[in-house]
């Protein structure tokens, strides 16, 4: 029996991707937004969608503990969805305080991260309680007590620290700046914080035509479900591939020129325009904690635009962090709430580009 020469590329419905902006401890907003997503998106599509949370789950709002409980429950409640939980700058600082950041790969101490910003210690009131000697800079800033209590940029009082971390402490039943938080945070919450990714890529799929058994060894276990076996000429079996999805599925986005098939990169604040993408990708995937300030999680103007090398190959870059809703071509910034009680929490749904908010009224 001869080997078939090939099969047509399979077709499948365009996958729905939901990118959800910064939650910042507002559990009731998260509940309402999730309910609206379920109502507004076609049920079969929602049940199999890719859900990307863009980071900053803690601080400012009153219910960080409930927010984390909700997020942790999603994979078991919606087993056919794919969930991605990005790390925001607030989440990194929370993780630093409770001791779940990976150690610097170069063997240096976290105290080395203090040096670049020591001139800010008095003004920001860095944490000096139990365990501070072995804490990353951002953990000390997060649990500190800022000297000037008024946040001029937001026109309101700081909530404990420069990160507004006071409500997070309170949601776990301890006062701001207390080392008791480390004991109060459940292990599953610590694991959630430790597992947050600093960057996520969705890349183009390649459906390859039929191959004979001679090349199967070149592919990893992700292709195993595509192997088929059939009787050979001299007994036994031959093995071939009908089709192989080497990479992940496309992400599609509707544009004035039509639907585009794109790679998608999700990162909390953005990518530095003046640094090479591969260099940034390596650092973010490895969670390089020898860096005092991770620009991709906390930068502003320097991470606003898409790096030029990514503009050449249809790459969506989606972020939260910036306190506004901004969509310009393939650059998506979804943070309408900004952690402020008066503002909504929003999500963007691809490929349509539909914006859904917690305050939307649905039938």
**Residues catalogued as catalytic:** 90
Nearest one of 314, 177, 344 to 250, comparing CA atoms: 314
Can you tell me whether residue 217 is helix, strand or coil? Answer: helix
250 and 242 Cβ atoms separated by less than 8 Å: no
85 and 117 Cβ atoms separated by less than 8 Å: no
CB atoms within 10 A of CB 220: 8
Encoded tokens for 84: 């991605």
Question: In the chain, how long is the greatest CA-to-CA distance?
Answer: 83
Q: What is the CA radius of gyration of the chain?
A: 23
CB atoms within 10 A of CB 33: 25
Quote the CA–CA distance of 103 and 110 in Å, as a whole number.
Answer: 8
91 and 269 Cβ atoms separated by less than 8 Å: no
Quote the CA–CA distance of 107 and 48 in Å, as a whole number.
Answer: 42
167 and 60 Cβ atoms separated by less than 8 Å: yes
Residue whose tokens read 């649905």: 362
Q: Cis omega (within 30 of 0) on the bond before 200?
A: no
How buried is 313 (Cβ within 10 angstroms: 0-12 exposed, 13-18 middle, 19+ buried)?
exposed
83 and 54 Cβ atoms separated by less than 8 Å: no
DSSP state of 211: B
């Amino acid at each position: 029996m001869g080997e078939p020469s090939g099969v047509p590329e399979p077709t499948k419905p365009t996958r729905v991707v939901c990118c959800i902006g910064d939650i910042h401890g507002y559990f009731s907003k998260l509940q309402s937004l999730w309910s609206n997503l379920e109502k507004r998106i076609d049920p079969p599509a929602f049940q199999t969608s890719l859900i990307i949370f863009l980071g900053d789950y803690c601080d400012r709002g009153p219910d960080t503990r409930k927010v984390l409980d909700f997020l942790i429950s999603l994979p078991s409640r919606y087993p056919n969805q794919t969930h991605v939980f990005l790390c925001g700058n607030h989440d990194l600082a929370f993780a630093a305080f409770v001791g779940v950041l990976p150690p610097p790969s170069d063997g240096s101490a976290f105290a080395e991260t203090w040096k670049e910003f020591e001139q800010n210690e008095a003004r920001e009131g860095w944490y000096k309680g139990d365990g501070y000697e072995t804490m990353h800079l951002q953990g000390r800033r997060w649990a500190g007590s800022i000297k000037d209590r008024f946040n001029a940029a937001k026109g309101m009082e700081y909530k404990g620290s420069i990160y507004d971390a006071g409500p997070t402490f309170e949601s776990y039943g301890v006062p701001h700046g207390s080392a008791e938080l480390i004991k109060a945070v459940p292990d599953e919450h610590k694991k959630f914080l430790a597992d947050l990714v600093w960057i996520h890529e969705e890349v183009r799929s390649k459906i390859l035509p039929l191959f004979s058994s001679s090349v199967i060894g070149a592919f990893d276990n992700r292709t195993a479900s595509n192997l088929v076996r059939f009787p050979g000429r001299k007994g036994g079996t031959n093995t071939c591939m009908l089709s192989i999805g080497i990479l992940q599925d496309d992400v599609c986005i509707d544009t004035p020129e039509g639907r585009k098939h794109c790679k998608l990169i999700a990162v909390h604040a953005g990518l530095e325009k003046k640094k090479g993408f591969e260099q940034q990708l390596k650092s973010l995937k490895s969670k390089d904690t020898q860096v005092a300030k991770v620009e991709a999680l906390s930068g502003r103007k320097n991470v606003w635009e898409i790096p030029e090398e990514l503009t050449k190959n249809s790459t969506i870059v989606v972020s939260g962090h910036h306190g506004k809703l901004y969509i310009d071509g393939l650059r998506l910034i979804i943070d309408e709430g900004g952690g402020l009680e008066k503002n909504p929490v929003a999500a963007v749904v691809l490929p349509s580009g539909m914006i859904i908010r917690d305050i939307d009224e649905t039938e």
